[in-house]
Amino acid sequence: MNALFRSCLVACTALVLVAGAARAEPEPAALVDQQHCMFCHTRDAPFLAPSFQQIAERYRNVPNAQFMLEHKLRLGGKAHWGDMAMPLPGDRGGPLSAEDAHTLVQWVLSQ
Ligand code: HEC
């Protein structure tokens, strides 16, 4: 193993560790407001909907959860918690771009 490769390996591993440690994403407050997420959800107590902490817990080890939830936020999907599914973006406050859905789900899963 040459020195260059080795130092890269060390630096990259350190980067991954740092990224892994900084789990809690900043709240995308404007989006959360615009989509009224907190009308039904809270961070830590189940209300009309499961709390974001419950959701993060449930999907922590589920592969593709990020992708599945982004899709669900934008286009709907079947209920996973009870009988009531989430309303679609149009009924929550406006259309939701793929990028914004990504930001929101990343934040929810970091709770
Ligand atoms: C009108 C009430 C309401 C609003 C507003 C709402 N939710 Fe939900 N949400 C629910 C309900 C009810 C469920 C449980 C649905 C189910 O059983 O899958 C849910 C489930 C979820 C889930 C888990 C979905 C799954 O498949 O397990 C995520 C993630 C989520 N909401 C994120 C959000 C985000 C982010 C926002 C804001 C963009 C939001 N919700 C706005 C009611 C709401």
Question: Looking at residues 47-71, what average pLDDT do you find?
Answer: 96
CA of 40 to the centre of ligand 1 (A): 8
Instruction: Give the domain ranges of the chain.
Output: 26-109
36 CB within 6 A, ligand 1: yes
CA of 80 to the centre of ligand 1 (A): 10
User: Which residue owns the Cα nearest ligand 1 atom 27?
Assistant: 80
| CATH class, 26-109 region | mainly alpha
Question: What's the CA gap between 35 and 92, in Å, rounded?
Answer: 5
Residues 6+ apart with CB under 8 A from 69: 59, 105, 108, 109
Q: For the segment 10-34, what is each residue's pLDDT rounded down to a tens digit?
A: 554 454 444 444 567 899 999 999 9
CA of 49 to the centre of ligand 1 (A): 6
Instruction: Specify the residue for token string 């599945």.
Output: 68
Q: For the segment 77-105, what is each residue's pLDDT rounded down to a tens digit?
A: 889 999 888 899 999 999 999 999 999 99
